[in-house]
Amino acid sequence: MDGKPRLLDQVREQIRLKHYSIRTERVYCEWVRRFTRFHAYRHPAEMGAAEVEAFLSDLAVRRDVSASTQNQALAALLFLYKQVLKLELPWLGEVVRAKKPVRLPVVLSVEEVKAVLAQLEGELWLIASLLYGSGMRLMEVMRLRVKDVDFAAQQIVVRDGKGMKDRVTVLPQRLREPLRKHLLSVKAVHNAELLAGRGDVYLPQALERKYPKAPWEWAWQYVFPAQGLSTDPRSGKRRRHHVDEKRLQRAFKWRCARQASRSWRLRTGYAIRSPRICWKAARTSARFRSYWVTRM
C-alpha cells in the first residue's frame, strides 16, 4: 500500500475544495463508480476517449437515459479527468454532448395559481406563496436562513443561488405577517432545543470554524426547518436540517410556480432580472416593491 487515497476519496476531496454541494458529490461519485464498473474496474487513468464514448453510448442506446442524464455523466467524467487525475486530454472537449429536447414550460395562469394555493395550508401554503411571489427556486426557499429575510426593506437575500451568486428578491407584503407568525413558532422550537443542549445547524464553507458559536444563533437557523433531526453526511453530526423538498415535489412540480411568476412579470412589463439589478444598486426599488405589494 502506497498510502494514496482511493479514487472516490480523491473525487470527494476535490469536490469539497471547490465547495460543491453534497448532492453534486454524491452524483459525481456514483457516475465514477458506474464508469469503472462498466469497464471491469480498470483505473480511469488507464482509459481514454474510446472508453468514455463507449460508456456514454451504452447509457443512451442500451439504457435509454435522457439527454440530461447523459450530460450529467459526462460532466462527472470531465471533472474526474481534469480536476482529480489532472490529465489534460485533448479528446475531452471533443466528446459530443447529447442535445436536450426543447420543450415549452408549463406556465400556470394567475387563476390556476390561486386555485393551487387554495388547496394548501400552513407551511406548504407559505412555501408555495413564496415561490410564486418572490420568484425563488425551490431549493433557494428550502435553504433560506432567518438572517436573510428583511421585513423592514421587504426583501429576501438569496445566498449561493444558481452559479453560486447572491441576489435580492422581493418579500410580498401579503406574506409578511404569515411569515412572522411562522418564524415565531420556529423560534419557540429553537429555544426549546437550546435548553436541551442542541439547536445547531449546518454552516456552509467552513464558517463553523470561523464563527464557532454561529450554528446555535437564531439568525443562522433555517426558515423552514425539518420536523426531526438527521445525520450530516459529511460531519456525522445529528442536527436539524431544512425541510426535505421531496415532501413538496410529490404533489406538485414547484418549478411551475416560478415559471408562472416569471410569465406574470413579463406580461405586466417588469423585467425578470429587476431584483438582481436592485441588488447591484445596493437598494430595492420602492416602485418595484409597491407594484408587487398591490398585486400579490
Instruction: Annotate the chain with DSSP letters as a single string.
Output: ---PPPHHHHHHHHHHHTT--HHHHHHHHHHHHHHHHHTTT--GGG--HHHHHHHHHHHHHTS---HHHHHHHHHHHHHIIIIIS----GGGGGSPPPPPPP-PPP---HHHHHHHHHT--HHHHHHHHHHHHH---HHHHHT-BGGGEETTTTEEEEPS-TTS--EEEE--HHHHHHHHHHHHHHHHHHHHHHHTT------STTHHHHSTTGGGSGGGSBSSEEEEEEE-TTT--EEEEEPPTHHHHTT--THHHHHHHHHHHHHTT--TTHHHHHHHTTS--HHHHHHHHHH-
pLDDT at 62 over 50: yes
* pLDDT on residue 285: 35
* Contacts of residue 40, Cβ cutoff 8 Å, sequence gap at least 6: none
User: In whole angstroms, what is the distance from residue 234 CA to residue 29 CA?
Assistant: 14
Name the nearest CA neighbour of 142 among 119, 160, 168: 160
- Give the range among 76-80, 160-164, 214-218, 270-274 with minimum mean pLDDT: 270-274
pLDDT at 2 over 70: no
* pLDDT on residue 290: 37
* pLDDT on residue 288: 34
Domain borders along the chain are 7-94, 110-295
User: Which CATH code is given to the segment(s) 110-295?
Assistant: 1.10.443
**Mean predicted confidence (pLDDT) in 267-278:** 47
* pLDDT on residue 19: 84
pLDDT at 269 over 50: yes
pLDDT at 1 over 50: no
- Give the range among 186-190, 202-206, 220-224 with minimum mean pLDDT: 202-206
* pLDDT interval class at 253 (50, 70, 90): low
Percent of the chain with pLDDT over 90: 44
pLDDT at 237 over 90: no
pLDDT at 279 over 50: no
* pLDDT on residue 118: 87
* pLDDT on residue 109: 77
Task: Judge residue 157's burial from the number of C-beta atoms within 10 Å of its C-beta, 0-12 exposed, 13-18 middle, 19 or more buried.
Answer: middle
The mean pLDDT value of the chain amounts to 81
* Contacts of residue 109, Cβ cutoff 8 Å, sequence gap at least 6: 260
Domain 7-94 has CATH 3.40.190.10: no
* pLDDT on residue 77: 94
In the structure grid, which three cell numbers stand for residue 293, read together? 405589494
Give the tens place of pLDDT for each residue, 74-104: 999 999 999 999 987 666 656 666 677 777 7
User: In whole angstroms, what is the distance from residue 199 CA to residue 183 CA?
Assistant: 15
Asked if 199 contacts 237 with a C-beta cutoff of 8 angstroms, the reply is: no
How many residues comprise the chain? 296
In the structure grid, which three cell numbers stand for residue 24, read together? 453534486
* pLDDT on residue 61: 82
Is the entire prediction scored with pTM above 0.85? no
* pLDDT on residue 259: 56
